[in-house]
Structure 1
Amino acid sequence: MTKNPIVKGKLVCVALNDSEQFNAMQAEFSEAPYKSAPTQPVLYFKPHNTWSTDGAEVEWAVTEGQAAQSMVVGASLAVVFGQECCRVSQEEALNYVDGYTLVHDFSLPEKSYYRPDIKGKCLDTSAPVGAAVVPASDVQDPQALTVVTQINGETVNETPVSQMVRGVAELISTISYIMTLQPGDVIAIGFPGQRAPVKQGDKVSSAIAGTASTGLCELNNQLGQ
């Protein structure tokens, strides 16, 4: 597996943070097994075996000894921490950020968000993280950024950070009360609700729009055959 130079500790991902997806699921949330919409961020981890980096090939999923029939991908703005962050307010949250990069989350299609999807989310090499970080000093407002993803050169998602249910500062504050965040920890703040389907051999590229350092913020991967 390709080691990533950015992630040193935890890779925390936020699910159901796309407001379009969240709003569209309100009727579903009122039914079993949910019974109500989540009132706190829905979090999941991408463990060490999933970590990869820019330019690396992503393994096609194998389940029960056979190649998976389908996979999907989403891209997220990623917050990289430069110092220990524990129980901080929204107002001071961004002071702990070293910079921003990108995360690709390749997974099996999700059918439910009620329980963490270990099988679909913990696939080897399924979480490439950008190999470079845009310094926080270069980003005046992370809420003004947009993550753009292309598959084989065709744009499949444009996700403004402002479209997220919970913004960057709010997420940092909330998560810092759940767990201490250490230097080198990364939070993927939210993926598009409509993950894009991918095929073996597809090339997936994402970039951050809205900063002069966009060129440092690209993430390119190819699915294995």
Structure 2
Amino acid sequence: MKHARILFENAVHDAVEDGGRLRLADGRQVEADAVSWLPPLKPVPRPRTILALGLNYADHAKELEFKAPEEPLVFVKGESTLTGHRQLTYRPSEVQFMHYECELVIVVGKTAKKVKRDDAYDFIGGYTVANDYAIRDYLENWYRPNLRVKNRDTCTPIGPWLVDAKDVADPMALALSTTVNGKLTQSGNTKDMIFDAPFLIEYFSAFMTLQPGDLILTGTPDGVVDCRPGDVIVTEIAQIGALVNTIAAA
């Protein structure tokens, strides 16, 4: 099932996809363009942990002239970075290079501590799409991107759907693509991840407890390009959804 979280008639609703429309909990159906889309995540009674992978596709590491990592390169993001489907992401006026990153997001489904790889999928609740923008101007070190690179408000659109894990037969064989103003600029597949979903659940839960609702952004393949105000970016992952975002001038 595909779940969404929306603002409709001045109230926040949970909804599910139903024949191209959105069905609310009270049974009403509304059109997708009649709502304001929020990140498709239920609130959690604590700060949500958002873990993000850098250079998790060998072709992207090569694109940036780095050797593929031997251990996950991870940074932490704040929840204020998240925004929804069809929302705006703001590009600071002074920057020279800001690019999208189409990423599969793992949403933790239950408390995970010291999980073994063979059991990892039991702890995944679902998947969504993220577009984790990066501002190259502020980048000092790909291994430790500073806060202005990856932790700006609105810099991580997510959605439109949270897809139940049981409805995705093989999350490690999903096509990814990005278009800018309708032109295909990025194409890849989750099978090319260096560190796959089971590895990441085992790796993180070995030294920290993952809680329901925590997110793991799994990195992007090569093909990133600069995005300017007015550009419409669509990051799409097969079976998960097409996330639409527009760049605006800050």
TM-score range (shorter-chain normalised) is 0.7 to 0.9
Determine if the alignment matches structure 1 residue 82 to structure 2 residue 109: yes
Q: For residue 67 of structure 1, what is the aligned residue in structure 2?
A: 94
Cα shift at 1:116 = 2.7
Kindly indicate whether residue 217 of structure 2 is the aligned counterpart of residue 152 of structure 1.
no
Q: Normalised by the size of structure 1, how large is the TM-score? A: 0.84
1:33 maps to none
Of 168, 185, 202, the residue aligned with 1:173 is 202
Q: Which fold has the larger relative contact order, with Cα–Cα distance below 8 Å and residues 6 or more apart in sequence?
A: 1
Could you give the per-residue CA deviations for residues 66-89 of structure 1, whole angstroms, max 9, x where no partner exists? Answer: 532221111101111111111101
Structure-2 residue corresponding to 1:44: 75
Distance 1:73 1:182, change over 3 A: same
Q: Is the contact between residue 236 and residue 243 of structure 2 (CA under 8 Å) also seen in structure 1?
A: yes
2: CA distance between counterparts of 1:54 and 1:139? 21
With structure 2 as the length reference, what TM-score do the two structures score? 0.76
Distance 1:143 1:136 in 2: 12
Q: Match for residue 34 of structure 1?
A: none
Measure, in 1, the Cα distance between the counterparts of 2:181 and 2:236. Answer: 14
Asked whether 1:96 is paired with 2:123, we answer yes
SS state of the match for residue 123, structure 1? coil
Identity of aligned residues (%): 28
Structure 2: which 5+ residue stretches go unaligned?
1-36
TM-superposed CA distance for 1:5, in Å, is 3.7
Measure, in 2, the Cα distance between the counterparts of 1:181 and 1:49.
Answer: 19
Are 1:20 and 2:44 an aligned pair? no
Shift of 1:178: 3.1
Conserved in 2, the CA contact under 8 Å of 1:21 and 1:194? Answer: yes
Q: Which range is displaced more, 187-196 or 126-135?
A: 187-196
Corresponding residue SS for 1:192: coil
**2:216 corresponds to which residue?**
187
**Unaligned regions of 5+ residues in structure 1, if any?**
30-36
Write out per-residue CA displacement over residues 76-131 of structure 1, whole angstroms, 9 at most, x where no aligned residue.
01111111111101100011111111011112124632333222111111011113
**In 2: Cα distance, 1:3 partner to 1:187 partner:** 18
Work out whether residues 75 and 147 of structure 1, in 8 Å CA contact, stay in contact via their aligned partners in 2: yes
Cα drift, residue 39 of structure 1: 2.9
Contact 2:185 2:223 in 1 (8 A): no
Match of 2:247 in 1: 223
Q: Give yes or no for contact 2:60–2:220 (8 Å, CA) kept in 1.
A: no
Structure ID, larger Rg: 2
Tell whether 2:236 aligns with 1:207: yes
Structure 1 distance, partners of 2:96, 2:178, is 22
Structure 1 runs (4+) greater than 6 angstroms displaced: none
What amino acid maps onto 1:135 in structure 2? Answer: D
After TM superposition, give the deviation of residue 142 of structure 1 in Å. 0.8
Contact (CA 8 Å) 1:143, 1:161: kept in 2 or not?
yes
Aligned to 2:191: 162
- Kindly report the root-mean-square deviation, in angstroms, between the aligned alpha carbons of the 2 structures: 2.1
Structure 2 SS opposite 1:199: coil
User: 1:136-174: CA deviations, max 9, x gaps?
Assistant: 111111111121111111111112111111111111110
